[in-house]
Amino acid sequence: MVNALLVLSFITMAQKNGDIINKISIQNSEELSVYVKNTENRTNASFNKERYKSIKEINLFGITYYSDGLKVNGFLLIPNSDEKFPVIIYNRGGSFNFGSLTTNGSIRLGELAKISAQGYIIVASQYRGNGGGEGREEFGGSDVNDVLNLFPLIDNLPQADIENIGMFGWSRGGMMTYISNTRTNRLKAIAVGGALSDLKSSFDDRPDWGEYIADSVSLYKQNEEEFLNSRSAINLVDKFPLGVPILMMHGTSDWRVKPSCALAMALEFDKYRIPYKLIMYDGADHAILEHKQDVFDQLINWFDRFLKNNEPVPDMKYHGK
């Protein structure tokens, strides 16, 4: 009995945040379907071949890694080369399995594969409790650690250029990106699309959304004000590092997260002289589907500038004639 306890204690001590405990190669949309059915216990998981064709251009892995003692699922995408590459952490949107990397997210694995093929390692978490992982979704609470615990995972990737790491998130993933940016000094650039940045404002606009989160995340009911404030990046801008440039993209016809959220964040960035670029896409929806190619081009250009070309951070001191 004592020996069994010692073995269990040793195993527990050996489990470190970011350790990959399972890694499965996925070479096409058919293999992705099998992986999802097995991992997420889903009976129906089909993927459009055209949307996911870029998977063949890179190395895609379904991974399980440790985060705060939990087994969390995610994906790792590596260009098909032995070179070292800069890294982008991608934060998915939605909550629970809605918006998941394997369901109906604005950005899915097909899009991430296309970005990775441009010379980037991409790591993406499903967050705890989602995609067959352990734990419970907290919508920007302790599940932010599932993002931060990707840094030690990245440090152990032989092909990762660990000095050049960026972060990208869409919708709720924008919230996760903003919060993460206040808790690490390892990011060189970030990008967000349709980013959730003011929960009170967004839940006022969409009461059904707020009610859904309240019913699903117990912390909301315990202290609503703290829940909303701690997850609203509009309240955290004074904690943002000044040396991390931010690309913001938002559709002016986005009903899920109103464009006023992006405008309010831009004003806060301007107030604190945080380098940012704001692109408002006229008439575009939450996913900015009307301008997909431009969104892709803007993302690649942004990360190329700061992760590949080591471009200096923009000078935010007022200057000129």
pLDDT confidence bin for 10, thresholds 50/70/90? very low
β-partners of residue 87 are 121, 165
pLDDT, tens digit, for every residue of 117-146?
999 999 999 999 999 999 998 888 899 999
pLDDT reported for residue 314? 94
Query: 263 lies in a domain?
Result: yes
Out of 18-27, 100-109, 168-177, 186-195, least confident range: 100-109
Query: 26 lies in a domain?
Result: yes
pLDDT reported for residue 3? 55
| CATH number of the domain enclosing 36 | 3.40.50.1820
Q: For the chain, how many structural domains are there in total?
A: 1
Report the chain's mean pLDDT, rounded to a whole number: 90
pLDDT, average across residues 18-27: 96
Query: 267 lies in a domain?
Result: yes
Q: In what order do the strands lie in the sheet with 121-125?
A: 20-26, 58-67, 70-79, 121-125, 85-91, 160-170, 189-193, 246-251, 276-281
pLDDT, tens digit, for every residue of 273-315?
999 999 999 999 999 999 999 999 999 999 999 999 999 999 9
Query: 317 lies in a domain?
Result: no
pLDDT reported for residue 40? 87
pLDDT reported for residue 15? 85
Query: 192 lies in a domain?
Result: yes
Higher pLDDT, 42 or 70: 70
Query: 4 lies in a domain?
Result: no
Range of the domain at 101: 16-308
pLDDT > 90 fraction of the chain, expressed in percent and rounded: 69
The enclosing H or E element of 160 equals strand 160-170
CA distance 175 to 165: 18
Query: 271 lies in a domain?
Result: yes
pLDDT reported for residue 49? 82
Query: 133 lies in a domain?
Result: yes
85, 121 contact by CB (below 8 A): yes
